[in-house]
Structure 1
Amino acid sequence: MQNDKRRLITRRDAVIFAAVFVLAVAAYFITRPQAAAGAAAEIIVDGAVVQTVSLGRDQVFPVPGREEVILEVRDGAIRFIESSCPDKICIKTGDLRYGGESAACLPNRVIVRVVAEDGADVVIR
């Protein structure tokens, strides 16, 4: 038997991995555009905007023309809470809060899109 002191990962390797990880996280936060908080959400059915909803007032309501689809506005965000679609992907999308975010219920042909207060979807600094 040889006295083999090779390790799978050396201390130097761990330091290099940690440095690369820290740099990657820093680069992500530096280059990531800052999303503007949304002031309203557009409800789109069959490609046409049927309603614009303020995200400042909590409410639960059906989508006009698609009463089987229920949306909820709470704490400055909007989300699907009920739908007749089979997979419920729209519900699993969760809260939409920032300008440019959107979710769709394709079987019911409903799209919810958050629009920023100043009309800009993203602010890049």
Structure 2
Amino acid sequence: MKCTGSCECGAVTYVIEAEMPDVTICHCGQCLRTSGHAWASVSVPVDTVEIAGTENLKWFTSSDIARRGFCTECGSSLFFERIGKNRIAIGAGTLTQPTELKTGKHIFIADKGDYYDISCDAPQYDFYE
């Protein structure tokens, strides 16, 4: 399957050539702070993603195990990559629509913001499952 996407301003674009998994929604504190809300993403092998506009991509090491990719022009949160895992999570909202994807699970729900409820029927986990 071939999917495309970009940041808000189009300075960073990407093409994915992989089987697209269901969307995972992360409610951890880091995702809440870096995205402004829960982080919805699809995780694919790194070698299935071709990124253009990397001169406009800034990687932020957000913990000992992960880094996050942002557009330096518009600030869009695009990528989450666990160091050494050979996978990259791509913000579901940055994918070109329609995606025909569905929500597969919610993770780190114990950390979710107190201002919202999880209303879909996807499984919910306290940790990454």
TM-score by length of 2: 0.27
**Structure of higher RCO (CA pairs closer than 8 Å, 6+ residues apart):** 2
Instruction: Give the number of the structure whose alpha-carbon radius of gyration is greater.
Output: 1
